[in-house]
Amino acid sequence: SKQLSTLSYDLLSSLKAIDPKTEPEKLLNYFAAKVLSLIPARSLLFRLYDKVLDKTFETSLGTADREKPVRETLSVAPLEVYVNDKIDKNATYELWLSNQNVRFPEEYKNELLPILQLLEYSFVAVMKGTLTWLRSLIDPLTKLYTRYHFSEVLQHYFEKAQSEQGELSVVMCDIDNFKRINDTYGHLTGDAVLKEVARILRDNVRSTDVVGRFGGEEFVLLFPSTGEEEAKTVVERLRRLTRDLNKFPFNITLSYGIAVYPACKVNDSEELIQKADIALYHAKNTGKDKIVVYTEGMSGGLHA
């Protein structure tokens, strides 16, 4: 049909213009808007889960009051569509849309099905590129950003803080006595500890904060637009959560070093990481399981 060929052309043109580095939420919103412009649904749920990232992305409109179908559905009287499929071996998506107020003749399925297939095909093609890009930024064990990508993100926020005369906090933290845990309980237990600490860090910072694995048992956090007191509050919460963890036959504690810009007189983001590292070194050397904020004149550092 003419509508279908127009849609094909429109989608192909759009796909060429979409940057694979587009965030999944934006892509979901883009395709949800396309669906709603072509199909008269009153409610919609579009959800994506990626096992590698261990993350769910979704967008929805007016679906809270109804039960989602348990199997794939294509009904036109009333209108209800539910699709659940794979993007690749590590990612699945579901699309559910309905309008209980409209009833179409059965032939409408012949019009609806090709539209859905085209939208799905386009969505999967774009999302594959985006997920491949995102997965390359993630440390496979901890699901945190790699050191390389964290440094890129930090550079962006550092330049922003410089140009806007804003604040920025960087935190380096390290699992205390991790070598002893590995030597006593083995590397599988060590890996389980790394994953659990990463989960606590990831799940208990604010949505604007960024968490990365710096290497080994060391993690790095970025708090945009955040000064010393606020950074200490967030870090103290993390310190208590890891210390109170009772999943293992031993206690887990972390030491933390905080560096705040512009209180730290630094010219670039790497220098800020170095200052946080020096503060971490002082936390380690003065009792562990504590938070130290960098002040001028401190020296040393785990990577000095």
Per DSSP, helices labelled H in 104-214 are 108-136, 147-164, 178-185, 187-203
Determine whether 182 is exposed, middle or buried from the number of CB atoms within 10 Å of its CB (0-12, 13-18, 19+): middle
Cis peptide before 78 (omega within 30 of 0): yes
Task: Name the E strands within the chain.
Answer: 43-50, 55-61, 73-76, 79-88, 91-99, 168-175, 210-215, 218-224, 254-261, 291-293
Please give the helix or strand (H or E) that residue 243 lies within, else none. Answer: helix 228-243
DSSP state of 302: T
Contact 100, 78 (CB under 8 A): yes
List the structure tokens of 182.
């590995």
Sheet strands side by side (includes 91-99): 55-61, 43-50, 91-99, 79-88, 73-76
Choose, from 67, 159, 167, 217, the residue flagged as catalytic: 217
Identify whether 217 is a catalytic site residue.
Answer: yes
Q: What is the dihedral of CA 201, 202, 207, 208, to 10 degrees?
A: 70
Distance CA 242, CA 19 (A): 38
Q: Which residues are catalytic?
A: 217
